[in-house]
Amino acid sequence: MAEHLTHFYEKFQPSHYNIYLDINRESKHFSGTSTITGEAKTSSISVHQKFLTIESVTVDGNDVPFKTDNDNEAIHIDLPKTGEVTLAIKFSAKLTDTMMGIYPSYYEVDGVKKQIIGTQFETTAARQAFPCVDEPEAKATFDLAIKYDEHEGETIISNMPEVKTENGVHYFDTTMRMSSYLIAFGFGELQSKETTTKSGVKVGVFATKAHKADELDFALDIAKRSIEFYEDFYQTPYPLPHSWQLALPDFSAGAMENWGLVTYREAYLLLDPKNTSFEMKQLVATVIAHELAHQWFGDLVTMKWWDDLWLNESFANMMEYVAIDAIEPDWHIWEVFQTSDVPAALQRDATDGVQSVHVQVENPAEIDSIFDAAIVYAKGARMLVMARALVGDEALHKGLKNYFTAHKFHNATGADLWSALGDASGIDVGSIMNSWLEQPGYPVVTAKVENGNLTLSQHQFFIGDGKDAGRKWQIPLNSNYDVVPEIMSDKTLTIGNYDELRQSTGKPFFLNVGNNSHFIIQYDETLMKDILDHVNDLDAISQLQILQDLRLLADGRKNSYANIVPLLPRFADSHSNIVNAALYRAANNLKKFVTPKSPEEKALKELFDKLSSAQLDRLGFAPKAGESNDDQLTRPYILSAGLYAENADAMASAHSLFKENENHLADLSADVRVFVLRNEVKNFGSQALFDKLLDAYRKTSDASYKQDICAALTSTTDPKLIAELVGKFEEADTIKPQDLRAWFRGVLANDDGQQAAWDWIRNDWQWLEDTVGGDMEFATYITVISSVFHTPQRLEEFKSFFEPKIPTPGLTREIKMDISVIDSRVQLVQDEKDAVNEAVSKTVK
Ligand SMILES: [Zn+2]
């Protein structure tokens, strides 16, 4: 429908809520009253509700007529007057297992099934918990009072501290002025650990008692130090008395920044301090730092409407790295940005039809669909990294302080941020950034020597078909040649006589030093040869960048994978984890060119052996005490390559580690456990091992161990076990819906399991939609499929299943993009298969 939807806030502006909830877990039912004081601009107003039964509505104590409108998730109310009114709405509803609104999380302690209640309101699910004007601009203060079927030893927490308990009702202190989507509470049998920041903010970590107490320690330390860092960096105090972090056993997203009560997937908060990989610790730390960055950016100052979601997410995504880099400088956390966010953004943003970072949205399904992690998070963060580099940290601090002072407890738009940063720095940040914010895609800059002159030109880069709309970007070039201007605004740019420049600088020409601007570079033969001749003089980030850009150019058909293959061995002995990350990302991309169990696959495995065997000897299978972070982070790439190559030493080491630890597999070092288990399942698998691992999966509370078991079991080659596994997909007692996508992806990416997984999702799509269709992760099941498929047959099957679903709200863009993604991959494989396989066999000779 083209009709303009009026925001409810335009007609009714709440200032204060009194919310009373009575929640019964036993009967899976809750009821309550939402009393809202606010300013009515017209006599006919609307308030949001979803899945609620509305029992009565009074205005200033008198019953008034109302109409429940489920299609628009609303209650329409006729008021006797405009101006200040107090509405009281009585309602009741069911508790459902959708991981949205108020919902139960299930877990077991010593074989006893238990549950805790938690909430997830972003984006539009506060209306499932109580009637409210559920729009970010509708900020108000909230008094929460909650009663539940409480047993001895249970705890309830919320955004604010509890002030009193009366007749079993828990009353919480009045909140600051805030948006409804940030309200949260949780209750049940919880354990916690608490500490206090230098400035007196109480920090706590809460979890079920299924976890060992020391699993809370890491998070508590990171949360405390992150808040201390932000208070300093933002020059603005943490605005609330406490910052609670709560781990929920069932959780759809990664974590949620509810103000003062952040909720997390258990895997992203709790960890065994004695046996967790460094990589996992880095991930958990960045998730915590991300959510705490939001306590200011998102919570204290909130986007006016969801089109500016990027203001929240792009910023928090950048700040998670800024914060962890400050509190753990030895981790070199920006390297994680370079190996995860950067390639994700560059890949996704190259597909025609991708959304821009700033995107117009109206209805709830659309709002959920804009949480594209590669764009709103990763590309947006990359955009802000560019902005940070332009203005410098001093102006950033000053600009942010002014931004928070001007907008705290209120809302802001992107323009407000640019003007704050622009005022602080004297640079017109907005006009530079708008080319990145408002336009989808990014440029490839072609650098060549033409008639003796070094020249640059920019064009939009596409993987797959793309319509050139003549877009231009303001590109921070960051060249290592001083004569190159800071910003490229035009289509083309002539730098000067190349031979003279080369001679006076004494080094190969390079753009985007540091890989912090969102573009890639195609150097002509002269320039590329010069770079490759000096590749060993390049720092790790520049080496990563060479591999990254060549790989993307090959995906975009501006280069051939056959040209990349002979270059790979040059990087194979690098001790840098980020070079290895880029190397194996490129190498793994070759797998799509070979048919399972063919001579070509055998040759490819030889190439992997050639790349990894010397490093395997150097690093060994077991982590060494006191080894460098780089070695720890490099080992997984090498083991993965060695096992794919069927390297005899690697397989024997993995098998003997398994045998030595057979009776206590969880104690295998988390750095290598997944490789040991996967090797065992793949090469020495049996029903007994399968049963044993699945049982361990059900029983362990260690999320890392769970992930390792999932990766191992989904790699089985036994058709009977694959069928058994797919049969477990809908058994929530074994595989929680929050974890299903990883299992599905594992089986789908397994050559021997693909058919079964593909059949399952097509046959049981309705079940999937009923189970996880209500949340923003749903569309990513389709993304997962598109990341795996690469044959014409699968493309046809994908189209015939998903094309009819294109009109589904929230799926439209995803399906269209994914058809293009698979189609371009199928073309690439068909066109280049022979040349690539020939290059592989030449390189291994
Ligand atoms: Zn976020």
Neighbours of ion ligand 1 (CB under 5 A): 313, 316
Torsion of CA 251, 257, 258, 259, to 10 degrees: 160
CA distance 634 to 3: 54
Contact 262, 324 (CB under 8 A): no
CA distance 450 to 448: 6
pLDDT, average across residues 243-272: 97
Read off the pLDDT of residues 123-134 as tens digits, 9 standing for 90 and up: 999 999 999 999
The pLDDT value given to residue 365: 80
The pLDDT value given to residue 707: 97
pLDDT, average across residues 693-697: 97
CA distance 561 to 116: 51
How many of the other CB atoms lie within 10 Å of CB of 465?
A: 12
Active site residue 291: yes
Asked whether residue 4 carries a pLDDT value surpassing 60, the answer given is: no
Spacing, Cα 309 to ligand 1 middle (Å): 9
pLDDT, average across residues 265-283: 97
CA distance 395 to 378: 23
Catalytic member of 122, 228, 266, 291:
291
Torsion of CA 659, 662, 664, 669, to 10 degrees: 40
Q: Which of 563, 570, 584, 585 is nearest to 538 (CA)?
A: 570
Spacing, Cα 287 to ligand 1 middle (Å): 9
Say if residue 123 is preceded by a cis peptide, omega within 30 of 0: yes
Spacing, Cα 260 to ligand 1 middle (Å): 14
Q: Which of 542, 592, 71 is nearest to 338 (CA)?
A: 542
Spacing, Cα 289 to ligand 1 middle (Å): 10
How far is residue 712 CA from its own chain's centroid? Answer: 23
Read off the pLDDT of residues 41-70 as tens digits, 9 standing for 90 and up: 999 999 999 999 999 999 999 999 999 999
How many of the other CB atoms lie within 10 Å of CB of 41?
A: 13
Sheet containing strand 520-523, edge to edge, reads: 492-497, 453-460, 443-450, 520-523
Contact 77, 11 (CB under 8 A): no
Spacing, Cα 742 to ligand 1 middle (Å): 21
Asked whether residue 2 carries a pLDDT value surpassing 50, the answer given is: no
Spacing, Cα 560 to ligand 1 middle (Å): 37
The Cβ-side half-sphere exposure at 764, using a 13 Å CA radius, reads 17
How many of the other CB atoms lie within 10 Å of CB of 561?
A: 24
Give the pLDDT band of residue 827 (cuts 50, 70, 90).
very high
Contact 565, 586 (CB under 8 A): no
Contact 717, 723 (CB under 8 A): no
The pLDDT value given to residue 364: 84
Instruction: Say if residue 438 carries a ligand binding annotation.
Output: no
Spacing, Cα 431 to ligand 1 middle (Å): 25
Instruction: For the chain, list the domains and their CATH numbers.
Output: 1-188 (2.60.40.1730), 194-295 (1.10.390.10), 306-438 (1.10.390.10), 442-549 (2.60.40.1910)
Read off the pLDDT of residues 471-489 as tens digits, 9 standing for 90 and up: 999 999 999 999 999 999 9
The pLDDT value given to residue 307: 92
Question: Helix, strand or coil for residue 464?
Answer: coil
Tokens of 495: 């730098």
Read off the pLDDT of residues 778-825 as tens digits, 9 standing for 90 and up: 899 999 999 999 999 999 999 999 999 999 888 999 999 999 999 999
CA distance 483 to 496: 9
Spacing, Cα 254 to ligand 1 middle (Å): 9
Q: Output the 3-class SS for 690-757.
A: HHHHHHHHHHCCCHHHHHHHHHHHCCCCCHHHHHHHHHHCCCCCCCCHHHHHHHHHHHHHCCCCHHHH
Instruction: Say if residue 7 carries a ligand binding annotation.
Output: no
Instruction: Say if residue 290 carries a ligand binding annotation.
Output: yes
Asked whether residue 6 carries a pLDDT value surpassing 90, the answer given is: no
Question: Helix, strand or coil for residue 87?
Answer: strand
Spacing, Cα 369 to ligand 1 middle (Å): 15
Strand ranges in 501-608 using DSSP code E only, listed in sequence order? 520-523
Q: Output the 3-class SS for 768-826.
A: HHHHHCCCCCCCHHHHHHHHHCCCHHHHHHHHHHHHHHCCCCCCHHHHHHHHHHHHHHH
Average model confidence (pLDDT) across the chain: 96
Read off the pLDDT of residues 490-512 as tens digits, 9 standing for 90 and up: 999 999 999 999 999 999 999 99
Spacing, Cα 292 to ligand 1 middle (Å): 9
Asked whether residue 591 carries a pLDDT value surpassing 60, the answer given is: yes
Spacing, Cα 482 to ligand 1 middle (Å): 38
Residue 652 vs residues 450, 513, 648, 649: alpha-carbon distances, Å: 55, 42, 6, 5
Read off the pLDDT of residues 516-570 as tens digits, 9 standing for 90 and up: 999 999 999 999 999 999 999 999 999 999 999 999 999 999 999 999 999 999 9
Contact 751, 791 (CB under 8 A): no
Spacing, Cα 136 to ligand 1 middle (Å): 15
The pLDDT value given to residue 3: 41
pLDDT, average across residues 241-253: 96
pLDDT, average across residues 322-334: 98
Read off the pLDDT of residues 737-766 as tens digits, 9 standing for 90 and up: 999 999 999 999 999 999 999 999 999 999
Pairing of strands 202-208, 242-248: parallel
Contact 791, 755 (CB under 8 A): no
Read off the pLDDT of residues 208-238 as tens digits, 9 standing for 90 and up: 999 999 999 999 999 999 999 999 999 999 9
Q: Which residues contact 514 (CB under 8 A, 6 or more apart)?
A: 478, 541
Element (H, E) at 291: helix 278-294
Long-range contacts of 323-327 (CB under 8 A, 24+ apart): 323/226, 323/229, 323/230, 323/233, 323/289, 323/292, 323/293, 324/222, 324/226, 324/282, 324/285, 324/286, 324/289, 326/229, 326/233, 327/222, 327/225, 327/226, 327/229
Q: Which of 101, 92, 18, 23 is nearest to 54 (CA)?
A: 92
Element (H, E) at 280: helix 278-294
Asked whether residue 5 carries a pLDDT value surpassing 80, the answer given is: no
